[in-house]
């Protein structure tokens, strides 16, 4: 029965439907699905790949994960995520990473870039000021000004691939939301499924 619970959760079946299909109590389902999330966090922390390298292109971006409803609420309730995705040769999204960050400051984002993206990579971003130093620390860097264009007419720079990544990530999470304490582990689960593509037998 446990395997059935985990399989349903792994393929995206929600708590209520899982309960109806298995007949298992909500607390029991909640416990075992939390085990999956914790294991995925351990797997991702141990195996997360580095992106790019000379001749490779990586798009980076930051995004607000939570917005204040109707513009109300406290600013500290906003949750920022930062991520990057390597372009495949011929187009499309390759390996990627996403990290919850406290803010968009240079002091926050640059160490993550250096840790996750190999030197010599061509990084594509918007014109956020925190990225201005990338050429000084071993990267090629091209930008697109989203106030004027989605794609730079001269360089061809765009961040469409990472924007699509955000769309897929948001679609993974339930519409009713996830408890804040679970978000990081759920994010790890999504990253493991997307980047490592393990079968259910591997979990």
pTM for this prediction: 0.80
Exposure string of 152-177, with b = 16+ CB inside 10 Å and e = fewer, is: eeeeebbbebbeebbeebeeeeeeee
Q: At what angle do helices 2-10 and 15-22 cross, to 10 degrees?
A: 150
Convert the pLDDT of each residue in 154-170 to its tens digit: 777 888 899 998 888 88
Per residue in 14-65, pLDDT (tens digit) is 888 888 888 889 888 888 888 988 999 998 888 888 999 999 999 999 998 7
CATH number of 57-166: 3.30.420
CA distance 8 to 19: 10
Q: At residue 171, does pLDDT exceed 60? A: yes
Sorted by where each begins, the domain ranges of the chain are: 2-47+173-202, 57-166
Q: Tokens at residue 8, please?
A: 């349903």
List, as one string, the DSSP characters of 56-123.
-EEEEEEEEEE--GGG-S-GGG-EEEEEEEEEPTTSSEEEEEEEEES---HHHHHHHHHHHB-TT-EE
């Amino acid at each position: 029965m446990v395997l059935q619970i985990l399989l349903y959760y792994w393929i995206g079946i929600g708590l209520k439907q899982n309960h109806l299909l298995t007949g298992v109590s909500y607390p029991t389902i909640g416990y075992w699905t939390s085990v999956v999330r914790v294991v995925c966090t351990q797997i991702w922390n141990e195996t997360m790949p580095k992106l790019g390298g000379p001749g490779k292109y990586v798009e980076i971006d930051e995004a607000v994960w939570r917005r204040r409803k109707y513009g109300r609420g406290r600013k500290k309730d906003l949750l920022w995520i930062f991520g990057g995705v390597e372009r495949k040769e011929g187009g499309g999204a390759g390996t990627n990473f996403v990290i919850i960050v406290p803010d968009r400051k240079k002091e926050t984002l640059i160490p993550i870039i250096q840790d996750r993206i190999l030197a010599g990579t061509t990084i594509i971003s918007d014109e956020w000021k925190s990225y201005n130093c990338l050429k000084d620390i071993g990267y090629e860097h091209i930008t697109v000004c989203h106030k004027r264009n989605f794609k730079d007419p001269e360089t061809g720079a765009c961040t469409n691939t990472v924007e699509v990544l955000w769309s897929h990530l948001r679609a993974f999470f339930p519409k009713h939301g996830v408890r804040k304490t679970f978000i990081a582990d759920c994010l790890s689960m999504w990253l493991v499924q997307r980047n490592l593509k393990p079968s259910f037998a591997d979990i």
